Amino acid sequence: MQWPKLSDGRAPKTTTACANRDSQLNAVKREAIFRTLASANPEPRTELRYRSPFELLVAVVLSAQATDISVNKCTEKLFTIANTPAKMLGLGERKLKQHIRTIGLFNTKARNILKTCQLLLERHSGQLPENRKDLEALPGVGRKTANVILNTAFGQPTIAVDTHIFRVSNRTGLAPGKTPLEVERKLLRTTPEKYRQGAHHWLILHGRYTCKARKPTCPECVIVDYCEYRAKTTVHA
């Protein structure tokens, strides 16, 4: 921005208010976005079905490159017979693969799940650890999966940046970034504290059903007035 010159040719001094003008406006916009999403969905939650932290872990591992719907179909039967690390190990690799064979990469996922079960029994008395370091030490559990577990199972204000959150954050201007980690760090730094716990699910659901990859339904979007996406759609999908 070019500031106007004073009569003697000098640029006027910028006050703190002027210097922070853009960040203040962005903060107001971020507050409005999350307030609106919270009003539309006061209790956001994952669409994966689970009854324990362990079941959630298995479901999240299976959900990589798969839909929540397909995962729920598999786990509905699987969790009736193997809902603990010990029972999952007792099931064995061959039977576990039979239950999850419709899920992409099921061979690798089955092996990782069983290795994880073994480690949970050996190191954590069969319980899921509530810290990132121990979670990420489990086979098949990366930063994104750990963030989901910490947020959803243990109520920690983490944000797991998947393709939906990455897209929404960049399109809206909430937290532009070139990598998921960059977006995650910006979201954690700039999301108002009272919305940090729910931000993960609000943004995922918004990206899944409204701010879709190919054709976002901008006319139906509750935060369209605050969104900085230049290629907004003008007709209903």
Does the model's pTM come out above 0.75? yes
pLDDT at 100: 96
pLDDT at 237: 52
pLDDT at 218 over 80: yes
Selecting among 77, 87, 144, 232, the annotated active-site residue is 144
Q: With beta carbons less than 8 A apart as the criterion, state whether 107 and 97 touch.
A: yes
pLDDT at 111: 96
Q: Which two tokens stand for residue 31?
A: 């507050």
pLDDT at 196: 94
Spatial separation of the C-alpha atoms in residues 55 and 154, rounded to whole Å: 13
pLDDT at 9 over 70: no
pLDDT at 188: 96
Spatial separation of the C-alpha atoms in residues 231 and 237, rounded to whole Å: 14
Q: How far is CA 171 from CA 13, 108, 139, in A?
A: 34, 34, 33
Spatial separation of the C-alpha atoms in residues 108 and 220, rounded to whole Å: 40
Selecting among 77, 134, 162, 178, the annotated active-site residue is 162
Q: Which residue would you say has higher pLDDT here, 17 or 74?
A: 74
Spatial separation of the C-alpha atoms in residues 21 and 23, rounded to whole Å: 6
pLDDT tens string 14-30: 333 433 444 455 888 99
Q: Is 68 assigned a catalytic role?
A: no
Q: With beta carbons less than 8 A apart as the criterion, state whether 11 and 5 touch.
A: yes
pLDDT at 93: 95
Compute the C-alpha angle 29/35/37, nearest 5°.
105
Q: Is 77 assigned a catalytic role?
A: no
pLDDT band of 3, cuts 50, 70, 90: very low
Mean per-residue pLDDT over the chain, rounded = 89
pLDDT at 89 over 60: yes
Spatial separation of the C-alpha atoms in residues 92 and 88, rounded to whole Å: 7
pLDDT tens string 163-207: 999 999 999 999 999 999 999 999 999 999 999 999 999 999 999
